[in-house]
Amino acid sequence: MTLADQRGLSDHVPLVLHVDEANWGPRPLRMLKCWADYSGYSEFVHQKWASFSVLGWGGYVLKQKLKMMKTSLKEWHQQHSQNMEGKILLVKNRNSYFDSKAETNALVEEEAKELQDLSVNLHSLSRVQCSINW
């Protein structure tokens, strides 16, 4: 990381290079892996990315697009993380329903599959619910 200090008598700014810190400056983008579990996430990213139009050299375009993507994802995340507790409760209820059913009757194949999906879903929802440090 190159850190600029304040300019004094010179018209140049003193620069300090830090090699030992894994600090690459502000993060242009953030992503939660669990977003990818949402249907429509990948289409959302594709569409958004294609809709941005930035002029300049390649590196600059990439940086700007990542920044714009970050803003869009932030909104997307807020929309999808709304009423998380309610969503989690629905999954939990469905889960309990199958659990207690399985205590007395064997689940049919579709039910067993749904139960498995529910637990994946629950994990995913819990991860989305955790706070993200933008």
Q: Using CB under 8 A, list all residues that contact another protein.
A: 1-5, 7, 11-13, 15-21, 24-25, 56-57, 59-60
Which residues, other chains included, contact 45 with Cβ-Cβ below 8 Å and sequence gap of 6+? 69, 73
Cβ(50)–Cβ(69) below 8 Å: no
- Nearer to another protein (CB atom), residue 54 or residue 102: 54
In the complex, the smallest distance separating the C-beta of residue 32 from another protein, rounded to whole angstroms, is 24
Rounded Cα–Cα distance for residues 29 and 16 (Å): 25
In the complex, the smallest distance separating the C-beta of residue 52 from another protein, rounded to whole angstroms, is 17
In the complex, the smallest distance separating the C-beta of residue 56 from another protein, rounded to whole angstroms, is 6
Backbone dihedral angles phi then psi of residue 3, each to the nearest 5 degrees:
-110, 125
- Nearer to another protein (CB atom), residue 64 or residue 95: 64
